[in-house]
Structure 1
């Protein structure tokens, strides 16, 4: 090769290095998607905190036992009288406004719909009422939506606090680091993703373990058993319920409301739309079954959903910690639990909805939500279709689970098929 050829090759190599350095500089200037997600999460949590603070402030100010609203009206009347100006709101109107505000804000934090007005007053009374076995303690209320949405915001705030204070620092310690010091950007980014996903799975494990305990506590009070499926439909419509059943049912709605927010804050996964559809369908099932007094069926379905989620989150945590053998064992347990609860038992529940409901309950001509008798031919079909859609989504996920199982059997180890990183 001639000297000119060598110089030209050196020039081309130098130009490539220059172009690569410029590209790296441009890339470093761009905001990273993870940072944008973190900013979005911080903004959403701050907005939730602001809304909760306003609701708590309204609850305190409008509390008739404190008399804060009355003192405020009296003070405003005195000040305006000094200016020789009439107060624009009468005492009666102001009292009516404060009564409405207190009823609304109380329903946001305490169970609405108590048949005995003294139940929904003090915090301790509301908490102690949860353990009462009186089946006619509470009834449905239009303010139940306020309770579900408010506690969805509370869960969003609790998640952010736990992620930053406990779960992310814990993940930094427990997540297995790559061999050697990670010097390249890709290794550092991969480790950062594993740390963040470990924290996310830690929160999911906490959430669904708590949900499973609460749903089991409610299910123990139900007369339904596998050999007595007709108990789901006898005495329909049950318009009243005990405090714990109502609290857990509305809390489950809060859980999925908060997850609709969270799924848009996390990094997009390959099954984002399936997951979003699952949450929305579940919310429709929870809300519709509650409104139409199908909540005994809802309790059974919730009981079937939670065990597999607990097992899956545990398997993922073991995976991120580098304990592959324990991860594979837990994944095998997860598969067994999934098939039994989400396919076999779930289809049994769907069948009893299809067969026993029209046999034991007389169809109504119109949807009468007030009386609770909402089983019409249309609501019956919609209910079955939503349950079938949920099962279809579960079957899609089961296909992903089978792919992971094949990897385990071929000694490749379980991986998260939802991840956008093939190394995870």
Structure 2
């Protein structure tokens, strides 16, 4: 908990600095130029000259404000005037206006990292204010737990913390699933139209919601990479870390190379199983073993069909349809969006295959848990770092 609080405190400090700089550098407020005028008058009274001209200072302020704006708001709207109010910017995400489209820009990385820090802070707040108290009330207590039984108390508090962690994962992936479904409904592709993933390539612009959700997914995994290094080490630390890094490379690479339609499909396939698994684990900690086992069975079915059957279908269309419908380029041209070269194509397929290998390893662990359920031992949290914890 000490490392988690330290990481969260640093995130709060960084966000406070970014937000304060954003407000102070806002040209519409004039605060930055007022500061320059004050500094100039102060130095003039002492017969000294300010080394920075008003024009240079204004240019710097605009550059800083553009950077901080990209940290909190979607950058690079094309052929559209964005509303200034925060609520108007939020409602613009759900607008179906074809005129509001966004281009890719290096500033998008600022947005993803900033909101990754926001998610880290939200996680800490929800864990302490909501999820841990719920865990104290809902997690099943040992039948006999005296005040002197230190081990039982430690085991109970560990389960409470696990319950809170799974509650956060449930909130995170349920939100992600809703957002990705909302984005998918706007796309022309569905399982019976795989060619739509590749037609009209490269699609260099996207609507506000698609861009926001895609970058938010990157934020999600950035925050998870931070969390996994702050929390107590688990038995599958390296598998989880590899999964998050590979996923970040896939999200970032597909975004830069205009393969985001495929990325949306993959994200749509990943989230349902996580929602089911977190629910099953929470039920386990609550002592509802029968309902937990039923939910775990549903989770296995969802995992198998989404992450192996449907995922294999997506990989096959990447392997078969992409080269047939898109002309390979001789060089990587991120500016035009055409990034399908023989090398990028092989890297893309390889990363998708590595992700599938990790999922297959986890599926083997899931089958082991299923065997425990069938042999009346009950489902357990395979990520537990305590062999006594069930």
Deviation at 1:268, TM superposition (A): 1.2
Deviation at 1:290, TM superposition (A): 0.2
- On the 8 A contact 2:145/2:153 being kept in 1, the answer is no
Tell me what 2:62 maps to: 99
Provide the residue aligned with 1:191 in structure 2.
Answer: 156
Contact 1:260 1:276 in 2 (8 A): yes
**Is 1:209 aligned with 2:174?**
yes
Paired position in structure 2 for 1:151: 115
Which one of the candidate residues 169, 175, 180 is aligned to 2:144?
180
Equivalent residue in structure 2 for 1:308, among 254, 259, 273 = 273
Aligned-pair distance for 1:192? Answer: 1.2
Partner of residue 105, structure 2: 141
Residue 304 (structure 2) pairs with residue 339 (structure 1): yes
Contact preservation (8 Å) 1:112, 1:120: no
Instruction: State the Cα distance separating 1:142 from its structure 2 match.
Output: 1.1
Show the counterpart of 2:236.
271
**Cα 1:311–1:140, aligned 2, differ >3 Å: closer, same or farther?**
same
- Give the drift of 1:120: 6.2
Show the counterpart of 1:70. 33
Counterpart CA distance in 2 for 1:271 and 1:350 is: 25
The 3-state SS of whatever aligns with 1:264 is helix
Range that drifts further, 187-196 or 229-238:
187-196
Instruction: Give the distance between the partners of 1:148 and 1:236, measured in 2 at CA.
Output: 24
Indicate the residue corresponding to 1:318 in structure 2. Answer: 283
Instruction: Say whether 1:83 aligns with 2:46.
Output: yes
User: Is contact 1:111–1:126 with CA below 8 Å preserved after alignment?
Assistant: no
Shift of 1:117: 5.5
CA–CA separation in structure 2 for the residues paired with 1:77 and 1:420: 61
Q: How many residues align?
A: 387
Q: Distance in 2 between matches of 1:319 and 1:127?
A: 37
Aligned to 2:256: 291
| Structure 2 residue corresponding to 1:164, chosen from 111, 128, 138 | 128
- Residue 118 of structure 1 and its aligned partner are, at CA, apart by 2.2
For residues 219-258 of structure 1, the aligned pairs below 5 Å read: 219-258=184-223
Check whether the contact 2:269–2:307 (CA below 8 A) recurs between aligned residues: yes
Which residue of the other structure, out of 340, 346, 349, is the alignment partner of 1:381? Answer: 346
Match status 1:353 vs 2:318: yes
Q: Name stretches of at least 5 consecutive residues in structure 2 with no aligned partner.
A: none
Deviation at 1:131, TM superposition (A): 1.2
- Which blocks of at least 5 consecutive residues in structure 1 are unaligned? 1-37
Q: Deviations over 1:66-85 (max 9, x none)?
A: 11001111111111111111
Please state whether the residue corresponding to 1:131 is helix, strand or coil. coil
Q: For residue 184 of structure 1, report the CA deviation from its aligned partner.
A: 2.4
Q: Could you say what secondary structure the match of 2:77 adopts? A: coil
Determine the C-alpha separation between the residues in 1 that align with 2:238 and 2:153: 28
Q: Give the secondary-structure state (helix, strand or coil) at the position aligned to 1:241.
A: strand
**TM-score (norm: length of structure 2):** 0.98
How far has the Cα of 1:39 moved from its partner?
Answer: 1.2
Q: Choose which of 329, 335, 338 in structure 2 pairs with 1:364.
A: 329
* Alignment of 1:124 onto 2:87: yes
User: TM-score under structure 1 normalisation?
Assistant: 0.90
RMSD (Å), alpha carbons: 1.0
1:221-253 per-position Cα deviation (integer Å, ceiling 9, x unaligned): 111111110000000000011000000000000
Please tell me whether the aligned partners of residues 74 and 111 of structure 2 are also in contact (alpha carbons under 8 angstroms).
yes
After TM superposition, give the deviation of residue 266 of structure 1 in Å: 1.7
Deviation at 1:212, TM superposition (A): 0.3
Higher Cα Rg: structure 1 or 2?
1
**Is residue 11–residue 121 contact of structure 2 (8 Å, CA) maintained in 1?**
yes
Structure 1 Cα separation of the partners of residues 135 and 311 of structure 2: 35
Give the one of 4, 8, 12 matched to 1:49. Answer: 12
Question: Whole-Å Cα distance in 2 between the matches of residues 249 and 299 of structure 1?
Answer: 8
Whether the aligned pair in 2 keeps the contact of 1:291 and 1:369 (CA below 8 Å) is yes
Q: Which residue of 2 aligns with 1:31?
A: none
The offset of 1:195, in angstroms, is: 0.6
